[in-house]
Amino acid sequence: MRVILGIGNPGKDYINTRHNIGFQILDTFAQKYNLEFIPSKNNYWYVESSFTTFPFFLIKPTTYVNNSGLVVLELIEKYKLSLSNILIIVDDVNLELGEIRIRKSGGDGGHNGIKSIIYHTQSINFPRIRIGIANNNKTKNLADFVLSDFSADEITILKERFKLVIELVEHFITGGTSEMLNFYSKQNKLINNKNNEIKGTEI
């Protein structure tokens, strides 16, 4: 069984904020397959379903970003999961808007949600998809920035990028991190080839 956990803050006030891009991805995935989140007896909302016979959970913690690790620990203990079967979807202020990076493991990168997961699981060995939220306004307080809403133009850009992230999640469900990374690599090659073709036609 695979688990896809989006990092974010619960409540209507945070729905469209930059810090909630993990929740937004899971909501988009659920909408695509007509799935609905329901509250659990623990600290999260969830969807339990299967994709081409492969079972999975979508998880949205209710602990707020800084305590995301508590939910990961709950899931590991309840379902006897390996960390390698838990995919974390998280925002990244150091990446351009909509830029996607995948890691099999690594440090927290300054993100308190990832920091919490590392602290509570005592491991850095879990896959994550990082999605850029472009902190171009360096003079603005970082906490204010990540809790600010995306603009309409930014949402338009992100909707296109979400399509790829959804495909990555699908590949994670059916084949784990390796299959997801292989698909990601192929997509990057296609994008690079297309960009080179466009440059080749310039006069």
Catalytic: which of 19, 111, 120, 171?
Answer: 19
Give the residue extent of every domain in the chain. Answer: 2-200
Q: What is the CATH number assigned to the segment(s) 2-200?
A: 3.40.50.1470
Whether 19 is catalytic: yes
136-170 tens-digit pLDDT: 766 568 889 999 999 999 999 999 999 999 999 99
75 Cβ neighbours under 8 A, 6+ residues apart: 3, 5, 57, 59, 81, 86
Gyration radius (Cα) of the chain, Å = 17
30-43 tens-digit pLDDT: 999 999 999 999 99
Q: What is the pTM (predicted TM-score) of this model?
A: 0.92
